[in-house]
């Protein structure tokens, strides 16, 4: 019995439960073998065979005689019941014909036999159906009533002989159902341990001596699925002792003075919890709250980590984009500066041509004035010379303007080439990314093929039952073929040591033996 010892000189500390709150106490945890292992009905026939094998010859003869007598009794009871009930049903129960009355009687008798057979079979298989006996009793009671009614007097008062006749008509069905119940109980005791039967039901004496408390005890057994009467009594005693200890510690006002945690067993008793389970509830609640807090903290840390990762990735993307924009800006700025220099050169050439034209006009005016002073002939000659010079200067100006136009075209062509180079660079970047992705895919396929080769080789080694050293040598040979293109000297010893988990000296032996294996024609 589970009890709680409370101190007398101090406030009762909250006791630690002896078992997990989800583990019922001892009486409920292991009620009996047939309840603890309901999925093993095959043990019942074995138990029957063992019991039959342990009987003496006289006991077996006695058991066989009893079974035969029970069968004879059932046959006699069915026959008498059939005749009496069929006639009574035809005469008094308004069945239209004697044939239909007999069918009614056969249906009732066969129904009783079928239900009894099912009840005995399920008891034998240790899968008893408790409520099936009630319809058996109901039908048997109906048969007893009909048999008794068939002997009742038609008119007049009842005499002693009438009562005896009614009882005589009902006694055989009553004997039949009594034999069936005794047989079911016998089968139940054979297929289940005797200890499981002790205290399994509420004793009849308790119902007579304390009907109110017994009803409450029986109600608790049914509500909370207590397996035996002993378990229910133990639970009731534990709660009573616990209540007395609380009252002893805190006095008559213990319901107000005792802490709420110590009152939990009595509060939760109507809900089927044991003392240990009820006392463990606060600790379970604290553990659940602590677990919830831990989960929330872990979720916050994970969320912060993901946010930091997203922020770092965004900063990386921003810096990468800014670098690409800056590169394009420098390229465009360089092209613009080159075009500006070319245009400035054309402008300077144009200004110089204009200045030259102005100086030429001034020189022509001075020459003309001097020519008028010198002589009329020289004036005419000078004018002709000036005209030729002016024509040459005009031609030079036209050439300078044409050169400026050509320079402007060159600037535009350079800008178009810069844009084309940028587009080409972007296409090259995309091709490089595609090539990298294709290379990654080829590498992945190569790793997959290598893994398949490795798996096939391991399966072949398993089939050949090779030793661990032979497996390591063949693995080294496959590494030479895959990573060093067959040149064993190109495969470092530290790679072999790391792959096989040995020292470099042993790895050197593996590499030498692998080279010999490859020379001998090994190709994985």
Round to the nearest angstrom and report the end-to-end CA distance of the chain. Answer: 71
What mean pLDDT is predicted for residues 155-175?
Answer: 77
Query: Looking at the structure, do residues 178 and 51 belong to the same domain, yes or no?
Result: yes
Query: Looking at the structure, do residues 329 and 383 belong to the same domain, yes or no?
Result: yes
Look at residue 343 in the predicted model and tell me its pLDDT.
Answer: 63
Look at residue 164 in the predicted model and tell me its pLDDT.
Answer: 83
DSSP 8-class letter at 270: G
Rounded to two decimals, what is the model's pTM?
A: 0.33
pLDDT tens-digit series, residues 471-507: 888 888 888 877 777 777 788 888 888 888 888 888 8
Look at residue 427 in the predicted model and tell me its pLDDT.
Answer: 85
pLDDT tens-digit series, residues 292-302: 898 988 888 99
Q: How far apart are CA 70 and CA 78, in angstroms?
A: 12
Look at residue 28 in the predicted model and tell me its pLDDT.
Answer: 35
Q: How far apart are CA 218 and CA 224, in angstroms?
A: 10
DSSP-derived secondary structure for 266-288: HHHGGGT--HHHHHHHHHHHHHH
Average pLDDT over the chain reads 75
Percentage, residues of the chain above pLDDT 70 = 78
Look at residue 1 in the predicted model and tell me its pLDDT.
Answer: 37
Could you say which of 192, 223, 241 is where a domain stops? 192
Query: Looking at the structure, do residues 473 and 426 belong to the same domain, yes or no?
Result: no
Look at residue 351 in the predicted model and tell me its pLDDT.
Answer: 67
Whether 515 is covered by a domain: the verdict is: yes
Query: Looking at the structure, do residues 159 and 125 belong to the same domain, yes or no?
Result: yes
What 3-state class would DSSP assign to 293?
helix
**How wide is the angle at C-alpha 248 spanned by C-alphas 243 and 252, nearest 5°?**
80
pLDDT band at residue 16 under the 50/70/90 scheme: very low
The answer, yes or no, to whether residue 416 has pLDDT greater than 70, is yes
Q: How far apart are CA 54 and CA 489, in angstroms?
A: 81
The answer, yes or no, to whether residue 468 has pLDDT greater than 70, is yes
Evaluate whether 484 touches 449 at the Cβ level (below 8 Å). Answer: no
Tokens of 295: 């989960």
Query: Looking at the structure, do residues 343 and 430 belong to the same domain, yes or no?
Result: yes
Query: Looking at the structure, do residues 428 and 513 belong to the same domain, yes or no?
Result: no
Query: Looking at the structure, do residues 177 and 77 belong to the same domain, yes or no?
Result: yes
Could you say which of 151, 166, 192 is where a domain stops? 192
Q: How many domains does the chain have?
A: 3
Report the Cα 89 to chain-centroid distance in Å: 64
Whether 334 is covered by a domain: the verdict is: yes
Query: Looking at the structure, do residues 330 and 438 belong to the same domain, yes or no?
Result: yes
Query: Looking at the structure, do residues 152 and 287 belong to the same domain, yes or no?
Result: no
What 3-state class would DSSP assign to 151?
coil
Look at residue 353 in the predicted model and tell me its pLDDT.
Answer: 61
What mean pLDDT is predicted for residues 117-137?
Answer: 82
Query: Looking at the structure, do residues 48 and 172 belong to the same domain, yes or no?
Result: yes
Tokens of 229: 């009467």
Contacts with 452 (C-beta within 8 Å, 6 or more apart), sequence order: none
Residue predicted with more confidence, 105 or 443: 105
Whether 248 is covered by a domain: the verdict is: no
pLDDT tens-digit series, residues 443-456: 787 777 777 777 77
What mean pLDDT is predicted for residues 309-320?
Answer: 86
Range with the poorest average pLDDT among 192-196, 201-205, 350-354, 383-387 = 192-196
Whether 238 is covered by a domain: the verdict is: no
What mean pLDDT is predicted for residues 169-196?
Answer: 71
Which sign does the torsion angle of CA 406, 409, 415, 417 carry? negative
Look at residue 372 in the predicted model and tell me its pLDDT.
Answer: 66
Closest CA to 47 of 196, 199, 189, 179: 189
Q: In terms of DSSP H, where are the helices of 484-503?
A: 493-500
Which sign does the torsion angle of CA 471, 475, 477, 478 carry? positive
The answer, yes or no, to whether residue 18 has pLDDT greater than 50, is no
Query: Looking at the structure, do residues 437 and 490 belong to the same domain, yes or no?
Result: no
Range with the poorest average pLDDT among 176-190, 202-216, 227-241 = 176-190
Q: Which domain holds residue 96?
A: 33-192
The answer, yes or no, to whether residue 15 has pLDDT greater than 50, is no
Query: Looking at the structure, do residues 381 and 428 belong to the same domain, yes or no?
Result: yes
pLDDT tens-digit series, residues 20-67: 333 334 333 333 333 333 344 444 455 556 666 677 888 888 888 988
Could you say which of 192, 224, 253 is where a domain stops? 192
Evaluate whether 260 touches 21 at the Cβ level (below 8 Å). Answer: no
Whether 88 is covered by a domain: the verdict is: yes
What mean pLDDT is predicted for residues 246-262?
Answer: 84
The answer, yes or no, to whether residue 12 has pLDDT greater than 60, is no
Whether 316 is covered by a domain: the verdict is: yes
Look at residue 51 in the predicted model and tell me its pLDDT.
Answer: 60
**Residue 490 CB neighbour total at 10 angstroms:** 10
DSSP 8-class letter at 16: P
Whether 415 is covered by a domain: the verdict is: yes
Contacts with 135 (C-beta within 8 Å, 6 or more apart), sequence order: 115
Whether 209 is covered by a domain: the verdict is: no
DSSP 8-class letter at 17: P
The answer, yes or no, to whether residue 354 has pLDDT greater than 80, is no
Evaluate whether 179 touches 73 at the Cβ level (below 8 Å). Answer: yes
Look at residue 168 in the predicted model and tell me its pLDDT.
Answer: 79
Look at residue 43 in the predicted model and tell me its pLDDT.
Answer: 45
């Amino acid at each position: 019995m589970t009890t709680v010892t409370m101190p007398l000189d101090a406030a009762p500390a909250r006791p630690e439960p002896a078992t997990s709150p989800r583990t019922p106490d001892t009486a409920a945890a292991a009620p009996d073998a047939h309840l603890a292992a309901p999925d093993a009905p095959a043990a019942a026939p074995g138990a029957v065979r063992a019991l039959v094998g342990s009987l003496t010859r006289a006991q077996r003869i006695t058991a066989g005689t009893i079974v035969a007598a029970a069968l004879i009794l059932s046959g006699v009871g069915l026959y008498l019941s059939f005749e009496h009930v069929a006639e009574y049903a035809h005469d008094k129960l308004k069945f239209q014909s004697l044939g239909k009355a007999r069918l009614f009687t056969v249906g009732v008798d066969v129904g009783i036999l079928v239900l009894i057979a099912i009840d005995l079979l399920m008891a034998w298989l240790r899968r008893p159906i408790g409520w099936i006996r009630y319809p058996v009793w109901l039908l048997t009671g109906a048969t007893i009533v009909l048999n008794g009614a068939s002997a009742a007097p038609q008119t007049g008062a009842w005499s002693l002989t009438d009562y005896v006749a009614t009882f005589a008509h009902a006694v055989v069905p009553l004997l039949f159902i009594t034999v069936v119940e005794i047989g079911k109980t016998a089968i139940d005791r054979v297929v289940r341990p005797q200890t499981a039967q002790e205290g399994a039901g509420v004793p009849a004496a308790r119902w007579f001596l304390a009907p109110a408390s017994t009803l409450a005890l029986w109600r608790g057994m049914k509500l909370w699925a207590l397996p035996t009467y002993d378990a229910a009594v133990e639970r009731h005693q534990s709660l009573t002792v616990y209540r007395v200890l609380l009252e002893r510690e805190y006095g008559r006002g213990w319901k107000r003075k005792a802490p709420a945690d110590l009152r939990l067993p009595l509060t939760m008793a109507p809900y089927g919890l044991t003392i240990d389970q009820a006392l463990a509830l606060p600790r379970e609640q604290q553990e659940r709250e602590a677990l919830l807090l831990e989960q929330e903290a872990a979720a916050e840390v994970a969320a912060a980590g993901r946010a930091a990762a997203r922020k770092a990735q965004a900063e990386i993307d921003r810096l990468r984009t800014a670098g690409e924009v800056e590169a394009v800006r420098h390229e465009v700025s360089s092209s613009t500066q080159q075009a500006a220099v070319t245009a400035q050169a054309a402008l300077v050439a144009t200004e110089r041509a204009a200045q030259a034209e102005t100086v030429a006009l001034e020189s022509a005016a001075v020459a003309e004035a001097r020519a008028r002073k010198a002589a009329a002939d020289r004036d005419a000659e000078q004018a002709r010379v000036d005209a030729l010079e002016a024509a040459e200067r005009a031609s030079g100006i036209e050439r300078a303007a044409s050169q400026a136009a050509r320079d402007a075209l060159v600037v535009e062509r350079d800008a178009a080439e810069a844009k084309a180079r940028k587009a080409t660079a972007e296409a090259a970047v995309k091709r490089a990314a595609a090539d990298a992705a294709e290379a990654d895919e080829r590498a992945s396929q190569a790793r997959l093929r290598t893994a398949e080769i490795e798996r096939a080789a391991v399966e072949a080694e398993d089939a050949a039952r090779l030793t661990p050293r032979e497996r390591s040598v063949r693995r080294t040979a496959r590494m030479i073929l895959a990573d060093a293109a067959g040149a064993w000297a190109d495969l470092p010893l530290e790679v072999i040591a790391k792959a096989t988990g040995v020292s470099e000296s042993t790895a050197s032996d593996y590499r030498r033996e692998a080279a010999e294996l490859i020379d001998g024609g090994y190709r994985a």
